Amino acid sequence: MSRPTLASLASELAVSRQTISNVLNAPHRVKPATRERVQAAIAAAGYRPSAAARQLRTQRSMNLGMRLLPATDGINGAILDRFLHALTEAAQSAGYRLTLFCAESDEEEIRQYEQLLDVAGLDGFILTSSTPDDARTRWLHARGTAFAVFGRPWDSAGQPVAADHPWVDVDGAAGTEGSVKMLLAQGHTRIGFLGWHTGSPVGNDRRLGWKRAMSAAGYGQDLVTLNVEAEDTVAGGAAGTAVLASRGATAMVCSSDSLALGAMGQLRESRPGAFLRGGGPAGPDGQAAVVGFDDTPVAAALGLSSVAQPVEEAARHVIRVLTHELDGSGASLLSRGEGPERQLLLAPRVVERIPLPLAAP
């Protein structure tokens, strides 16, 4: 009653192991009659090839690795759930398994790569963030290991840079640009930007979209006074909003939902009635408006407008391009047709919401 193997099946069917192997890996090379007979026996016996034996022979594990970053904020990190699920699902239907690991730092991440490569023979890695002048992508490239990144490559100055490895990212600037346009349509003119004080490339990108849209609308002279940087927390958002409000801002575009949450709270406190218009988007007639980023569950729960990243689509594409790299190298002789985009910038979507009427009329 133990699990069937190639050998046990072969003797049972009175054919060679090779024939069964061919039925599985090169069906066209075997006569239809025997092929069907073998296939029936495979199904009946519930035979499944052993991945370990196969890996030993082919040097491929059909296994992808990904580092699980520690859950930081919890508000902003809420995106990971969806990304990870879509990633697992996509990998699974592409015939790959997904192995998770932890690392305290990028240096340790590299050491983990090395170990997982040597010990488990992982075929490739998914990186869920990119840093300026990323040592990890350099290492992987030098080692000749396949990988794909969720995040654009940045040079050491934090500027976008060309790279020849596969990556997928979301166009943050387009997101904040869309937020500004939405607020302009609501009648706002003094629209502030509440960003991070870290100077991260991602944050700069989001600020850039705000600048572009404001300039295009003719409010370029406000770019200095209406730009505020704060710590990426609810408290930081409240503090930054106090400054922006004192400079006359009636609406703010934020780099994160944490900041936006703080902004809403601060406005509710300092300007009673700021969100009274439960019936629809508020105008500049004493009304306020806030747009967050990432469209976390918190935003949805509180009626906070936010920029939604297509993380599921990003995850699917990461798998698509990575598996194409892994599977395609051999088949590239046959299908020299184009594969999936090796580099892809996805457009986010601004989700407009009506703030929950959390204050009494």
Among DNA, a copy of itself, none, the one that 19 touches (CB under a kind-dependent 5 to 8 A) is DNA
**Does 243 help bind a copy of itself (rule: CB under 8 A)?**
no
**Does 19 help bind DNA (rule: CB under 7 A)?**
yes
The residue whose two tokens read 């508020």 is 282
User: 1, 157, 162, 360: which one contacts a copy of itself (CB under 8 A)?
Assistant: 360
User: 20, 282, 298, 307: which one contacts a copy of itself (CB under 8 A)?
Assistant: 298
Binding flags for a copy of itself, 27-46, as an x/- string (CB under 8 A): -------------------x
Query: Measured from the CB atom, is 116 or 307 closer to a copy of itself?
Result: 116
Residues 67 and 127: beta-carbon distance below 8 Å: yes
Number of residues that bind DNA (CB under 7 A): 29
**Does 161 help bind a copy of itself (rule: CB under 8 A)?**
no
- Which ranges of the chain would DSSP assign to H, the alpha helix? 6-13, 17-25, 32-45, 51-58, 79-93, 106-119, 135-143, 172-185, 201-216, 234-246, 257-270, 297-302, 311-331
Least distance between DNA and beta carbon 121 (Å)? 9
Closest by CA to 356, choosing from 298, 304, 307, is 304
Least distance between DNA and beta carbon 32 (Å)? 8
**Does 5 help bind DNA (rule: CB under 7 A)?**
yes
Residues 6+ apart with CB under 8 A from 67: 100, 101, 102, 103, 109, 112, 127, 128
- Rounded CA-CA distance 104/333 in Å is 41
Among a copy of itself, DNA, none, the one that 30 touches (CB under a kind-dependent 5 to 8 A) is DNA
CA distance to 78, 170, 221, 307, per residue, from 193 (Å): 23, 19, 14, 14
Residues 6+ apart with CB under 8 A from 93: none
Contact stretch for DNA (CB under 7 A) within 13-21, 178-186, 282-290, 340-348? 13-21
Q: Identity (one letter) of the amino acid at 299?
A: A
- Rounded CA-CA distance 215/285 in Å is 23
Here the tokens at position 306 are 């936010």
Residues that bind DNA (CB under 7 A): 3, 5-7, 14-19, 21-22, 24-25, 29-31, 33-35, 47-50, 53-54, 56-58
Residues that bind a copy of itself (CB under 8 A): 3, 46, 48-53, 55-56, 61, 63, 68-71, 73-75, 77-78, 80-82, 84-85, 88-89, 92, 97-102, 115-116, 118-121, 234, 258, 261, 264-265, 268-269, 271-273, 296-298, 300-302, 356-360
